[in-house]
Amino acid sequence: MTAVVITVRGESEARVRAEEAAVRVTVTTDGPARGPVVERAQERAAVVQDGLVAHLRSGEVSEWSSARVSVWSDRPWNHDGAQLPLVHHASVELSATFIDAGALSWWLGDVAESDDVQVTAVEWRLSPTTRARVEREVAAAAVGVAVERASAYADALGLASVSPVEVADAGLLATRPEAQHPLAARMMSADHAGGPSFSLQPSEIVVTSVVEGRFRAE
């Protein structure tokens, strides 16, 4: 039998417990006078910052920042269609990366007690070092699956040797690339409780890899 080109796909998946959480909170104040509104936002943001600094010193936070400050005014309308006096607003957005889930739970419970503070996002993720290692392992495993499938097809055809011709991320060997990402990560849902106190547990990060390969069997 002449040589046969076998095209296969290999997939692999790994589930890894998240190591850190990126959290964002926004301090928002409003009122009829611009000065007091801005001052109250600054004071409340300073309290939140002090807490982050304390967690940074204790090693429970790896980094934090206060990247965005906004001040604006508007004139609301009442139910009769009349425009009311100016209302001034101020907001300060802060973000931090927690590496201790227990510390994050306590901190969220503290900041959530204030009506001026809103928790806008908590994103579980892997550290850069762990993510790079897991992505490499998952990609290698996906290639291994592709090799095993090609070998199985060759055995079924009575062919003894299999050699790689091309290996690529999913879609790159096809005439029409697929929309899905060949190497992706998604987060399993986090377990948490609402109310005045929080109990957060790190989510599982699912890292997947899909490859396509062409092999020559003869």
Read off the CATH number of the domain in which 25 is found.
3.30.70.360
Residues 206 and 148 in one domain: yes
Domain's final residue, options 125, 152, 181: 125
Residues 178 and 108 in one domain: no
For residues 165-182, give the mean pLDDT: 72
pLDDT of residue 189: 44
Residues 201 and 111 in one domain: no
pLDDT of residue 172: 87
pLDDT band at residue 1 using 50, 70 and 90 as cut-offs = low
The model's pTM: 0.73
Residues 121 and 27 in one domain: yes
Q: What is the mean pLDDT of the chain?
A: 87
Residues 99 and 179 in one domain: no
For residues 178-187, give the mean pLDDT: 58
- Measured CA to CA in angstroms, residue 27 lies from 31, 148, 203, 213 at distances of 14, 55, 26, 52
Closest CA to 55 of 92, 28, 20: 20
Residues 201 and 148 in one domain: yes
Per residue in 99-146, pLDDT (tens digit) is 998 899 889 888 888 889 999 999 999 999 999 999 999 999 999 999
Residues 185 and 159 in one domain: yes
Write the CATH number for 172. Answer: 3.30.110.170
Closest CA to 94 of 74, 125, 60, 70: 70
pLDDT band at residue 191 using 50, 70 and 90 as cut-offs = very low
Looking at the structure of the chain, the number of domains it has is 2
Residues 87 and 175 in one domain: no
Residues 97 and 25 in one domain: yes
Domain's final residue, options 125, 145, 162: 125
pLDDT surpasses 80 at 176: no
List 6's β-bridge partners, or say none: 215
pLDDT surpasses 50 at 196: no
Structural domain containing residue 195: 4-17+129-217
Domain's final residue, options 95, 125, 155: 125
pLDDT surpasses 90 at 88: yes
Residues 91 and 119 in one domain: yes
Distance CA 90, CA 38 (A): 6
User: To 10 degrees, what angle do helices 101-111 and 34-57 make?
Assistant: 160
pLDDT of residue 70: 92
Distance CA 67, CA 62 (A): 16
Please state the separation of Cα 120 from the chain's center in Å.
14
Residues 195 and 112 in one domain: no
Question: Can you read off the two tokens belonging to residue 150?
Answer: 């090609």
Residues 105 and 150 in one domain: no
Distance CA 211, CA 12 (A): 9
